[in-house]
């Protein structure tokens, strides 16, 4: 069964450093998302991406964040200057139209745990 | 914007019992309601979903009910098994196709043998 993959599984960085989290969505999916989950809290929406541009972003997704689809398979989230409060689990998700996926089902990757020291 | 509340935060049951988790939403424009199961160290996995033109949906031991008037929906798990132990999240979304999911706060379900 196709799945969303994410790398790395765990990223440790110093405050102020830039990090790039990588995702490979399910091929033939067209919509991509980033969510984050601070330890013990709910999953929060960050940004959605379609047709090479941001569709929607939350208040969390400020100027320190950016997303990119650099090629036909990868989808990345960059945090320019990390803060302590960026420590969280970051999930990538994708959804498509037709095929084997249910309409509107978002498939989540296993996540990247980001620890900012 | 949409706000989703979820109760209870923790739920302990004996194997074989039923478990019910309830969610309420605030935005009447929401009309897609998925439930996700999250096991330790993994991403959320869809277990069942319901759209607002349907009042109930079942899939083996799992069922979801939706009351649009009251803006609440519930997950029912019957004949629980230890492997059902996980965190369950409800979510709501506007069914324009690919809108963001707004998640509830999660319910930690523990099924004891």
- Express each pLDDT in A36-47 by its tens digit: 999 888 999 999
Q: Kindly report the CA angle at B86 between A107 and A92, in degrees rounded to 5?
A: 25
Greatest alpha-carbon pair distance for chain B in Å reads 42
Nearest to B48 by CA among B70, B21, B27: B21
Contact A108 B45 (CB under 8 A): yes
Residue A98's pLDDT band (cuts 50, 70, 90):
low
Contact A42 B34 (CB under 8 A): no
> Considering only alpha carbons, which residue of chain A is nearest residue B94?
A104
Contact A105 B49 (CB under 8 A): yes
Q: Is A9 helix (H, G, I), strand (E, B) or coil?
A: coil
Q: Is B57 helix (H, G, I), strand (E, B) or coil?
A: strand
Considering chain B, what percentage of its residues have pLDDT values greater than 90? 82
Average pLDDT over residues A85-110: 81
Q: What are phi and psi of A84, to 5 degrees?
A: -55, -40
Provide the token pair at B102.
């707004």
**β-strand pairing of A65-68 with B4-7:** unpaired
């Amino acid at each position: 069964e196709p799945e969303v993959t994410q790398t790395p599984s765990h990223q440790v960085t110093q405050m102020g450093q830039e990090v790039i989290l990588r995702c490979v969505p399910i091929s033939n999916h067209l919509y991509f998302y980033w969510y984050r989950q601070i330890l013990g809290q709910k999953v929060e929406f960050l940004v959605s991406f379609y047709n090479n541009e941001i569709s929607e972003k939350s208040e969390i997704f400020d100027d320190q964040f950016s997303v990119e689809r650099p090629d036909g398979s990868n989808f990345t989230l960059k945090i320019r200057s990390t803060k302590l409060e960026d420590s969280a689990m970051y999930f990538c998700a994708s959804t498509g139209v037709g095929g084997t996926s249910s309409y509107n089902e978002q498939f989540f990757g296993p996540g990247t745990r980001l620890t900012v020291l | 914007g949409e706000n989703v509340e979820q109760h209870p935060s923790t739920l302990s049951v004996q194997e074989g019992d039923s478990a019910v988790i309830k969610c309420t939403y605030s935005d009447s424009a929401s009309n897609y309601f998925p439930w996700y199961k999250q096991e330790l160290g993994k991403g959320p996995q869809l277990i069942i979903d319901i759209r607002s033109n349907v009042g109930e949906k079942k899939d083996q031991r799992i069922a979801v009910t939706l009351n649009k008037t009251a803006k609440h929906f519930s997950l029912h798990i019957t004949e629980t098994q230890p492997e059902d132990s996980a965190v369950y999240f409800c979510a709501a979304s506007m069914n324009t196709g690919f809108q963001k999911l707004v998640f509830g706060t999660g319910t930690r379900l523990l099924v004891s043998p």
